[in-house]
Amino acid sequence: GAVVSQHPSRVICKSGTSVKIECRSLDFQATTMFWYRQFPKQSLMLMATSNEGSKATYEQGVEKDKFLINHASLTLSTLTVTSAHPEDSSFYICSAATDDYSNQPQHFGDGTRLSIL
């Protein structure tokens, strides 16, 4: 099956640090990638949708200057949490889909647990 690799799996850093998370589709071309955020015992919340070669589309309430998304190739998207603060601590998950994701499932990475001290 399709494999999505997310790195790093865990980050612990000081407040004010910027953190970059990578999401790679290893065996297929992902025209579209999604970034989710999940708090403990809660569901996944979509943060943004990124399409290769264009600007990301952010969901309402998600600060685009805070969460920078780059999707420079068909196999790589990055999420940078800028000047992270303790309230940004969460589990961040990416997923990838082909262009026609209306009838193809998303393939998820294993998530990045971000802890800001």
Partner 1 sequence: LAKTTQPISMDSYEGQEVNITCSHNNIATNDYITWYQQFPSQGPRFIIQGYKTKVTNEVASLFIPADRKSSTLSLPRVSLSDTAVYYCLVGGSYNTDKLIFGTGTRLQVFP
Site for partner 1 in 68-97 (CB under 8 A): 91, 93-95, 97
31's torsion region: left (phi>0), alpha (psi -120 to 50) or beta?
Answer: alpha
Minimum gap (Å) between residue 83 Cβ and partner 1: 25
By CB under 8 A, name the one of 12, 26, 46, 72 that touches partner 1: 46
Minimum gap (Å) between residue 66 Cβ and partner 1: 19
**1 binds partner 1 per the rule CB under 8 A:** yes
**107 binds partner 1 per the rule CB under 8 A:** yes
47's torsion region: left (phi>0), alpha (psi -120 to 50) or beta?
Answer: alpha
**37 binds partner 1 per the rule CB under 8 A:** no
Residues of this chain that bind partner 1 (CB under 8 A): 1, 4, 6, 34, 36, 43-46, 49, 57, 59, 91, 93-95, 97, 101-111, 113
